[in-house]
Amino acid sequence: MKPEQTAAHGRQIDRRHFLERVAAMGAVASLGRNVFGRGLREAVRSLDTPASDSQLHEVRIQTKRARYAAEIFAQDGGDACRRFRRRATAMQDILGAQHDASRACEWLLGLGSDDPNVTRSAGWLAAGAASERDALRDAWWPAWRALGRPKARFW
């Protein structure tokens, strides 16, 4: 191949790569709108005041799905995608701790024993888990606001 043919061939490959990236970013935009816009936002909008533990768990699941969607496009999403993943992970961690505390409280309250010391200890532990659960019930809102900011949008 002559040098001018090689250069032209290289430009064609660059154009093809560029068009593939543009198409991928269109897929990112569509997936971002569907996963974040429909799934996660609807889960948050449907929350009661105050939100139940099961509703918060659903928000956590939707957050996980949105984060996984961002991980698929990590290479093409750039800084905004990394920012979104980091913020989604923070929100998911908070909601996960709230869910763990909720489940621990339920489990401890369900313990039955003939020994009053076991019952008393389980009650104290359940009270601690309930306190943590209640404290975390609203702690995820700042993470949600950060996740919804335009700088975190990768689509």
- Give the CATH number, domain containing residue 66: 1.40.20.10
Please say if the pLDDT value at position 58 is more than 60. Answer: yes
The pLDDT of residue 79 is 82
The pLDDT of residue 71 is 80
Task: Report the domain count for the chain.
Answer: 1
How far CA 33 is from CA of 13, 28, 39, 75, in Å, comes to 30, 8, 9, 18
The pLDDT of residue 25 is 59
**pLDDT digits 0-9 by tens, 82-128:** 888 889 999 999 999 999 999 999 999 988 788 889 889 999 999 99
31 and 155 in contact (C-beta within 8 Å)?
Answer: yes
Please tell me the least confidently modeled range out of 2-11, 27-36, 51-60, 144-153: 2-11
Which burial class, exposed, middle or buried, applies to 30 when counting CB atoms under 10 A from its CB (0-12, 13-18, 19+)? exposed
Between 12 and 144, the more confident residue is: 144
Report the share of the chain in percent with pLDDT over 70. 73
The pLDDT of residue 28 is 60
- pLDDT-based confidence at 27, cuts 50/70/90? low
Give the closest residue to 59 by CA, choosing from 70, 47, 68.
47
The pLDDT of residue 83 is 87
78 and 152 in contact (C-beta within 8 Å)?
Answer: no
Domain interval for residue 30? 3-152
The pLDDT of residue 34 is 65
The model carries a pTM of 0.73
Mean of the pLDDT values across residues 133-143?
91
**pLDDT digits 0-9 by tens, 29-40:** 666 666 665 788
